[in-house]
Structure 1
Amino acid sequence: PSGFREYWRLVYELNGETHDEAWSVKTYKEVAEVFAKDHPDFLGLKLIYSDRRFKNVSVIKTSVKTAMALRTSFPTMVAGFDLVGHEDTGHTLYYYRDALLIPTLEGVKLPYFLHAGETDWQGTSIDDNLLDALILNSTRIGHGFALSKHPAVMEDLKKRDIPIEVCPISNQVLKLVTDLRIHPATAFMAVGYPMVISSDDPAFFGAKGLTHDFYEVFMGIGGMDADLRTLKQLATNSIKYSAMLPTEKKTAMKIWEKTWDNFIHDLIKK
């Protein structure tokens, strides 16, 4: 299994040369720096090191250690770690407990951005991923579709100001919900639960950017009372709950506020 993982992670050149994970992160960093020179409002990018939740524990242990090493080498680039893949057919977070507890046991801070609760089944071991994500102090909760069925978890996450990543188009494509007006996020918005909008798998779904997901949230989940304040809150949440450093968030918010003010000014003129 470990050999398969190394094969999977390698980047191949046409001449047969191969590169490891550190080379990939370094390359992303260099490209971002070049792009920023011509785009001063671009504040860079962050990478979440991920592995798939159908692999065995020993492989995920290696992945967690790799993520720890990469974050140490590239602290401003590598944001943390996540487990991705279809939850209902994959292993639970509890199954990977020995791997996910490695950073804590070694005294290393490795933020988690765990997918949890992407299911419409209640009472299964997969459904319990939300509780384990809470215990593991996940920085964000990917999807959290089943969160409304766990009021105690929802209340605790809200107290800790841990947001969920709502992925409306993904939820529709994967048939978790057909009508966004009855999406669990409608209740989250009603009580002011912290949430951000994500496209989940834009390449797989053929989507570009977040425009379509924002539109669906505004038109379906937001309800008849949704207005510019709704869009503004969702946009600022994207910055507030991002993996940027505090200083980067302040800079990003200033840039965004200037752009928003210009947008409102142009809207009024029209």
Structure 2
Amino acid sequence: MANMTLFTDQDPESVYPSQDLIWGKFEQCFLALWGLVTYAPVFRDYYYQGLAQFYTDNVMYMEVRALLPEIYELDGSTHDTAWTLKTYQDITRQFTAEYPEFFGVRVIFTIHRGVNASKMARAVEEAMKLQRDFPDIMAGFDLVGREDSGRPLWYFRDALSLPAERGVTLPYFFHAGETDLEGTEVDQNLLDALLLNTSRIGHGFALLRHPVAKDLSRKRGVAVEVCPISNQVMKLVKDLRNHPAATLMSENHPLVISSDDPGMFGSSGLSYDFYEAFVGFGGMRSNLGSLKELAINSIRYSSLNPKQQEKALALWQRRWDNFVSENAF
């Protein structure tokens, strides 16, 4: 477990004194897990158990960032990204058949931001093909990995412009602004993400330092995916009362609460992050309405089409009404 998570029984401030050290450990954990979860039978079970854990936490719909890795069998054969995405689709259908109150999953195909321009172009080409072949489950495309040490979005501008040049719709959900390095190339990712018409902004921690980007994202209804525990664990902020999202929340900026990598952090599902957002961002003014608005935002700013959103909101409303009546607020 010590090799596969960031959780420690020691003082975390001593074990992880800097962002560089904790990011190094974080990426080592992914490498340790890689060969285990990319074995076909384990991959299927791993994904199913992930769905079960979120469902137990009362999550009814998910949008998952996935690298869509090459999956292997014990005879040495491997499966391509289309097989991997179809497996996500098949297991999601199996899970929703078993648990009808679970609304489903959509996948955001990702690639590590450390690749070169030609590899990024190939990934965007593949994403366009997957979007065409799997429109029900494929939500869009993103870059993952540490922004501070990865290449900025502008470096990949030619590859990321391919869909628009070809008249193809490929929604983007860019990680942008997960940094406290003000004034660097990476710090410009927020503006570039908006220029490239991102549907949401992953993390957006640096958004307050970019008033133009903040105003633009608000006017366009581009929600910030806030990951409270992740930002705290990865040492962007120590006290969540000082998190930029507290200001964004007070300004009614579009926000959704996300859990990033709960398994790595020793948490599960989404409740831990909702709790931290509730007490850390809203402070003494947080109330039941705060939770309700944040929950609705998860559907309002999802990649579901308007008809699907309407259906999901109706399902959510029934469960919300039961939650309120059962807890006698």
Normalising TM by the smaller chain, what interval?
A: over 0.9
User: Per-residue CA shift, 1:111-136, capped at 9, x if unaligned?
Assistant: 00000011112111110000000100
Q: CA deviation at 1:30?
A: 1.3
Whether the 8 Å CA contact 2:69–2:84 is kept in 1: the answer is no
- Secondary structure of 1:158's aligned partner: helix
Inter-partner Cα distance in structure 2 for 1:61 and 1:124: 24
User: Per-residue CA shift, 1:135-181, capped at 9, x if unaligned?
Assistant: 00100000100000111110111000000000111111111100000
Inter-partner Cα distance in structure 2 for 1:249 and 1:84: 27
Give 2:169's match in structure 1, choosing from 109, 127, 132: 109
Tell me what 2:79 maps to: 19
Give 1:240's match in structure 2, choosing from 269, 277, 300: 300
The answer as to 2:325 corresponding to 1:265 is yes
The answer as to 2:276 corresponding to 1:216 is yes
Whether the 8 Å CA contact 1:117–1:129 is kept in 2: the answer is yes
Whether the 8 Å CA contact 2:201–2:222 is kept in 1: the answer is yes
Tell me what 2:222 maps to: 162
Q: CA deviation at 1:202?
A: 2.3
Inter-partner Cα distance in structure 1 for 2:267 and 2:163: 35
The code of the aligned residue for 2:86 comes to: K
- Secondary structure of 1:46's aligned partner: strand
- Secondary structure of 2:111's aligned partner: strand
The code of the aligned residue for 2:279 comes to: M
The answer as to 2:118 corresponding to 1:118 is no
- Secondary structure of 2:140's aligned partner: strand
The answer as to 2:282 corresponding to 1:229 is no
TM-score normalized by the length of structure 2: 0.78
The answer as to 2:144 corresponding to 1:92 is no
The code of the aligned residue for 1:55 comes to: V
User: Per-residue CA shift, 1:2-41, capped at 9, x if unaligned?
Assistant: xxxxxx9311012222110111111111111122222112
Inter-partner Cα distance in structure 2 for 1:11 and 1:205: 25
Inter-partner Cα distance in structure 2 for 1:74 and 1:153: 32
Deviating above 3 A after TM superposition, structure 1's stretches of 4 or more consecutive aligned residues are: none
TM-score normalized by the length of structure 1: 0.94
Inter-partner Cα distance in structure 2 for 1:31 and 1:145: 34
Give 2:143's match in structure 1, choosing from 59, 74, 83: 83
Mind listing any 5+ residue stretches in structure 1 that lack a counterpart? 1-7
Q: CA deviation at 1:91?
A: 0.4
The code of the aligned residue for 1:225 comes to: R
Inter-partner Cα distance in structure 1 for 2:267 and 2:164: 37
State the identity %.
52
The code of the aligned residue for 2:81 comes to: E
Inter-partner Cα distance in structure 2 for 1:229 and 1:45: 26
Give 1:35's match in structure 2, choosing from 95, 105, 110: 95
Whether the 8 Å CA contact 2:70–2:84 is kept in 1: the answer is no
Mind listing any 5+ residue stretches in structure 2 that lack a counterpart? 1-67
Inter-partner Cα distance in structure 1 for 2:96 and 2:204: 34
Q: CA deviation at 1:244?
A: 1.7
Tell me what 1:255 maps to: 315
Q: CA deviation at 1:245?
A: 2.3
* Aligned residue pairs, count: 262
- Secondary structure of 1:9's aligned partner: coil
The code of the aligned residue for 1:227 comes to: N
Tell me what 2:207 maps to: 147
Moved more, 175-184 or 199-208: 199-208
Inter-partner Cα distance in structure 1 for 2:76 and 2:305: 38
The code of the aligned residue for 2:185 comes to: S
